[in-house]
Amino acid sequence: MTELRDTADRTSGTPAGTSACTPAGTPAGAQASRRASTPASASASTPAGTMAGTLASTPAAARCRAGAGEGFSLYRPALTAGFYQPKIEAYYYTQWDGYEMPLHAHNRAEIMYVISGQCEVHTERERIALKKGEFVLLDGNVAHRLLVSKDVSCRMLNIEFLFVEEPGTSFPPLRELAFGDPAVAEFLSEPAPVLVLKDPNDVYHTLKTLVLQLDHPEPGRELMVRLLFSQLLLQVARLTVKARSRETMPGEAYVRQAIRYIHQHYDCELQVKDIAAAVNVHPGYLHRIFKAQTGVTVLDYVTGYRIDKAKMLLAKADIPITEISDYIGLSSRQYFSAVFKKVTGQTPLEYRNSVRASSWS
Cα separation, 116 vs 303, whole angstroms: 46
What pLDDT, on a 0 to 100 scale, did the predictor assign at position 150?
85
Domains parsed from the chain with CATH numbers = 32-248 (2.60.120.280), 252-360 (1.10.10.60)
* Whether 302 contacts 294, CB under 8 Å: no
> pLDDT at residue 104 above 60?
yes
Please compute the mean of the pLDDT values over residues 74-82 and round it to a whole number.
91
Alpha carbon dihedral 268, 273, 279, 283, in 10-degree steps, equals 150
Using DSSP's 3-state secondary structure scheme, residue 124 falls into coil
If one counts every other C-beta atom within 10 angstroms of the C-beta of residue 39, the result is 26
What pLDDT, on a 0 to 100 scale, did the predictor assign at position 54?
53
DSSP state of 104: B
**pTM for this prediction:** 0.58
55 φ, ψ (degrees, to nearest 5): -90, 140
What separation, in Å, do the N-terminal and C-terminal C-alpha atoms of the chain show?
67
> pLDDT at residue 74 above 80?
yes
26-36: per-residue pLDDT in tens? 333 333 333 33
Amino acid at 114: V
CB-based contacts of 294, cutoff 8 Å, min separation 6: 255, 259, 301
Please compute the mean of the pLDDT values over residues 67-85 and round it to a whole number.
81
Burial class (CB in 10 A: 0-12, 13-18, 19+), 240: buried
216-272: per-residue pLDDT in tens? 878 878 899 999 999 999 999 999 998 887 655 567 888 988 999 999 999 999 999
Please compute the mean of the pLDDT values over residues 329-353 and round it to a whole number.
92
Cα separation, 161 vs 140, whole angstroms: 9
> What are the contacts of 350-353 at 24+ separation with CB within 8 A?
351/311, 351/314, 351/315, 352/314, 352/315, 352/321
Mean pLDDT of the chain: 81
Alpha carbon dihedral 348, 351, 357, 358, in 10-degree steps, equals -150
Instruction: Please provide the size of the chain in residues.
Output: 361
